[in-house]
Amino acid sequence: MARQDTTLAGYFVPKGSHILVSRPGIGRNPKTWDEPLIYKPERHLTGDEVMLTEPDMRLVSFGTGRRGCVGTKLGTYMIVTLLGRLLQGFDWTLPPKTGKVELVESKENLFMAKPLLACVEPRLDPNMYPKLRTRLA
């Protein structure tokens, strides 16, 4: 809440106003991102690190300030580890008779317009998965 009358990015903000941040607006800002409507996950890589938080507020993955997520680092490490395990442990393919994958967002929300379906097969021999072996027997 604004504690006093102020101007923000050329807009007058009267005392007592609340400002809501549009996450989709931040992520699609052409002043911040080169080709913001094109899927480019590499734009979040800085050297060999993935950038999910940064001081310029070009993205707000975990909130910010006092009410930002206290588990940002832990959550990020867990997601990266989980993704690595999924990529290492399984072979991923598209379902049969699947055409080109379209990474198009829905107009109503932040999800994809069409869900991405995938087939998954364990990479290791089934004998390496004792629980799976007993279920298949």
Is 119 annotated in a binding site? The answer is no
DSSP state of 16: T
Q: How many helices (H) and strands (E) does the chain have?
A: 3, 6
Contact 76, 52 (CB under 8 A): yes
C-alpha–C-alpha distance, residues 126 and 118, integer Å = 20
For the annotated binding site for heme, the residues are 69
For the annotated binding site, the residues are 69
